[in-house]
Structure 1
Amino acid sequence: MPQLEVDGATLTYDDEGPRDGDGVPLVFVHGWTANRHRWDHQVAHFAERRRVVRLDLRGHGESSGSGVRTIDELAKDVVALLDHLKIERFVIIGHSMGGMTAQTIALAHPERIERMVLVDSIGKMAYSRGRALLMAASTLAPFKLFVAANIRRAFAPGYPREEVRAAIRASAETPREVVMTLYGAMRAFDVLDRVGEIAAPTLIVHGYHDIQLPVAQMLRMAKAYPDAVVRILDAGHELPVEKPAELTLALDRFLADRG
């Protein structure tokens, strides 16, 4: 598997599909404590006819590195990889924290974004005072308990328990420093007042049962976008694994729409 050294981290990535395929490359960015394989269904589908790039963010999956404190730093890693691959213009697709990263890239490099897709993501985390205190208190829990609680509630009610347990085990393999600092980075993330600057056509896909980043918060962001389409699917926060085929279909239709 190819790797790239970027600012003290070794980023592992996949670069698949035809270089002269249908449209500009697709760039997939995973979320908090996940890895590039969150996108297996989508990559298998799209790499048949167009170039597809995905990576493990620093400290996640098979990428090394830590010390990242902000979403902006994650965005710089992604841009460094795309510069290395000589990809100038692309479609950026991000899940959760990856969607925050995608918005950061779109704001910093608008000329490079042909389209954007945000999956279970928002422009700002906003909670009541009580919920904010609860979230802050949860960081004091033992690490594995903290991870388990957050990952368990990411899935819609009724999702197979063994698959949830597998997701918890995989997430707990992410280094504690990376997990906790990026948890703080997501809570501090705020581009809500700037998303109106993103002119690229945008698809926002969200799980109806998402309690990590609730639909109401997503809609608060969506109404500020000048050119956005919203799709709500019957799932929780983990759309790429809960409803992979439905998500792929939504992406396919959006990318095929030349309007």
Structure 2
Amino acid sequence: MARFTVDGAELAYDDEGPRDSPSTPLVLIHGWTADRHRWDHQTAHFSAHRRVIRLDLRGHGESTGAGAPTIDALARDVVALLDHLGVGRFIPVGHSMGGMTAQTLALTHPERVERLVLVNSIGRMTYSRARGLLMAASTLAPFKLFVAANIRRAFGPGHPRDEVEKYIRASAATPREVVMTLYAAMRAFDVLDRAGEIRVPTLMVHGYHDVQLPVRQMLRLAKGYPDAEIRVLDAGHELPLERPADLTAVLDRFLARP
């Protein structure tokens, strides 16, 4: 693990794999209340033959800093890190909130993004009026209860209970300010009407049982992409944890595509 300081935050990151590989570096971006270890399986696989960079977003994992007020701010942190490492072109792979960050990178730095991978991510969070009111009310619950309810719903049916509880504890260790600020940032995120501007080959992988960001919202986003490949797996919202080997295989095939 290395560290890089940007805008008042110290970001923990891993930079693995051969620097002289002809393959474009992967940049792995985790989701809300998670950390860079969501990508352990993918990092171990891809770093054998290409450069792989993964980071703990500000306030998450081993990184410091307050919660970013917007998804754009998270994207700026990623760009600052890549500039520091001398990385030009790259392929962002983002899970959930990380996918929102990855889309922002593709829109703000199109000359640097070669391909794009979105895992359980969408372009706009959309709810019925009743669901929206429930989501708003949930923020008034005690913090640990709020986190536990969200993480418990993130896993698909049948995922081992002890694993779920482990990730609830890890998520609850994320500072409250970070959790709540980025929860609001995700709800405000909206690039749905700009999807057509992202013209690079894009892979969208989603869990069929995702109730946090349902498949239909991903499909709505995919309609706007000029070059989108869609894969739906038998999992919930936490694909990197629920089906790591299957996710890696799907990524492998996409990256090998001409």
Which TM-score bucket, shorter chain as reference? over 0.9
What is the CA deviation profile of residues 218-251 of structure 1, one whole-angstrom value per residue up to 9, with x for unaligned ones?
1000010000100000000000000000000000
> Pairwise mapping of residues 47-58 of structure 1 onto structure 2 (< 5 A)?
47-58=47-58
SS across alignment from 1:199? coil
RMSD of aligned alpha carbons:
0.5
Q: How does 1:36-51 map to 2 (within 5 A)?
A: 36-51=36-51
Contact 1:2 1:14 in 2 (8 A): yes
Residue type of the partner of 1:114? E
Name 1:124's counterpart in structure 2: 124
Q: How far apart are residue 21 of structure 1 and its match?
A: 1.6
Q: Which letter maps to 2:106?
A: A
**1:160 Cα deviation from its structure 2 partner:** 0.4
Letter in 1 for 2:215: V
> What residue is the counterpart of 1:196 in the other structure?
196
Q: Find out whether 1:16 has 2:46 as its counterpart.
A: no
Once the two structures are superposed, residues 109-156 of structure 1 have per-residue CA deviations (whole angstroms, 9 ceiling, x without a partner) of 000011000000000000000000000000000000000000000000
Aligned partner of 1:28 in structure 2 is 28
Greater mean deviation of Cα atoms: 162-171 or 20-29: 20-29
- TM-score (structure 1 length as normaliser): 0.99
Question: Helix, strand or coil for the counterpart of 2:253?
Answer: helix
Matches within 5 A, 1:21-170: 21-170=21-170
> Is 1:220 aligned to 2:183, yes or no?
no
| Partner secondary structure for residue 211 of structure 1 | coil
Secondary structure of the residue aligned to 1:125 is coil
**Once superposed, which parts of structure 1, at least 4 consecutive aligned residues long, lie more than 4 Å away?**
none
Give the gaps of 5 or more residues in structure 1: none
Contact 1:22 1:49 (8 Å CA) reproduced: no
1:75 and 1:101 in contact (8 A); partners too:
yes
Q: CA deviation at 1:203?
A: 0.2
* Displacement of 1:22: 4.1
SS across alignment from 1:87: coil
> 1:20: how far off?
1.3
Alpha-carbon distance in structure 1 between the residues aligned to 2:15 and 2:199: 27
Where 2:66 maps in the other structure, the secondary structure is coil
CA drift of 1:68 comes to 1.5
